[in-house]
């Protein structure tokens, strides 16, 4: 009797993990940046840049296949996304009452969260390349 899960367990979890970071990066970032007091124009600009890694996946997919195994990329990118999500949770901006009343958040908090979201997007897109290959 086998003690490893078969494809009936592997495939659904693989594709759930495929879509979850995409949703988190592209939906939660919009909500979070809007709560930070960002204007709609700036919000559209910065969050549209977060879609870029999924758009340009074909440009770096040959390198993913050449450099390491698909399993290594999936595990490594999962670990990187876990670290990035933990960092996002721990480093969320906590402005003082005056900043909240003014409707803004310090720029450094925005830049930090944008970098973490972009890193997560790159890791997720790279993981998608390995999982689809």
Count of residues making up the chain: 133
Our measurement of the distance from residue 76's CA atom to the centroid of its chain's CA atoms, rounded to an integer in Å, reads: 14
Tell me the pLDDT tens digit for each residue of 48-80.
888 899 899 889 888 888 898 888 998 899 899
DSSP 4: S
Return the closest-CA partner of residue 33 out of 89, 109, 95, 90. Answer: 109
Look at the pTM and tell me if it is higher than 0.85: no
For tokens 């993981």, the residue is 127
Inter-axis angle of helices 70-90 and 107-132, to 10 degrees?
A: 160
Tell me the pLDDT tens digit for each residue of 28-52.
888 888 877 788 898 888 888 888 9
């Amino acid at each position: 009797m086998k003690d490893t899960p078969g494809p009936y367990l592997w495939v659904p979890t693989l594709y759930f993990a495929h879509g979850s970071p995409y949703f988190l990066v592209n939906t939660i970032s919009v909500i979070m940046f809007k709560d930070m007091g960002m204007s709609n124009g700036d919000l559209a600009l910065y969050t549209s840049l977060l879609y870029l890694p999924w758009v340009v996946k074909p440009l770096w997919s040959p390198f993913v296949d050449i450099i390491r195994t698909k399993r290594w990329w999936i595990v490594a990118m999962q670990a990187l996304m876990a670290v990035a999500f933990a960092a996002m949770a721990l480093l969320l901006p906590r402005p003082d009452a005056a900043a909240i009343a003014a409707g803004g958040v310090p720029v450094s908090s925005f830049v930090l969260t944008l970098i973490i979201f972009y890193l997560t997007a790159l890791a997720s897109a790279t993981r998608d390349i390995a999982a689809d290959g």
